[in-house]
Amino acid sequence: MNSSTDTAPVDNAFSHHTQFLKAFFRSSAHVGAIAPSSGELSAILADTVDWDRVECVVEYGPGTGVVTEEIARRLKGRTRFFAIERDPALAAIARRRCPSVEVIEDCVTRVPELCRERGIEKVDAILSGLPWASFPSSLTEEILAATFEVLPEGGRFATFAYWQGLLMPGSRRFRQLLREQFGSVERSETAWRNLPPAFVYRCVR
């Protein structure tokens, strides 16, 4: 007879990478990388936020929870935080990795409804791991419209991009949208140890 530990999910870097690859092959349009974000990239993304001042932060597309874990380490006691992940297997990994964080299995286009259900009127910062370059323009615009319903003037939005994909039409289109819709768009230093190398767009509405 097997013990309960024999059927427990294995949580380590290899199993997380395996689940990430499975999610990529299930839906490459919604999982744009072949590996989870590195700790280096996660730190650069989280550095966008002034953690001493924010009251509410939302993460889009936590994947296996690498960035989520970085955020959880920086949270102050009064700061509210939840993450939205559409892939069930990845959401389950993120929950196990960060048991203190609410990981919602849903689509980020529903962020206004998810905030209202939790009594949240506005979000100070949104950190995103979504593969914007692979989205159709209609979905990108829908997500940004939903984002602007909860992100007030002065709110911060940060998302990463891979250097290798900068010339792709989807990547150029997304970069132009950011410049059109945000008051300020800056590019961070490069996370060279990430696979592939990446940087962060830091935007202020």
Between 12 and 159, name the one with better pLDDT: 159
Reply yes or no on whether the pLDDT at 175 is more than 50.
Answer: yes
Query: 4-18, 65-79, 94-108, 131-145: which has the minimum mean pLDDT?
Result: 4-18
pLDDT digits (tens, 9 = 90+) for 15-63: 444 443 444 444 444 434 445 668 899 999 999 999 999 999 999 999 9
38-204 falls under which CATH superfamily?
Answer: Vaccinia Virus protein VP39 (3.40.50.150)
pTM of the model: 0.82
The pLDDT > 70 percentage for the chain reads 82
Identify the weakest region by mean pLDDT among 48-52, 125-129, 194-198. Answer: 194-198
72: exposed, middle or buried (Cβ count in 10 Å: 0-12, 13-18, 19+): middle
Q: Which sequence spans correspond to the domains of the chain?
A: 38-204
**Per-residue confidence (pLDDT) for residue 21, from 0 to 100:** 41
Alpha-carbon span 29 to 86, nearest angstrom: 12
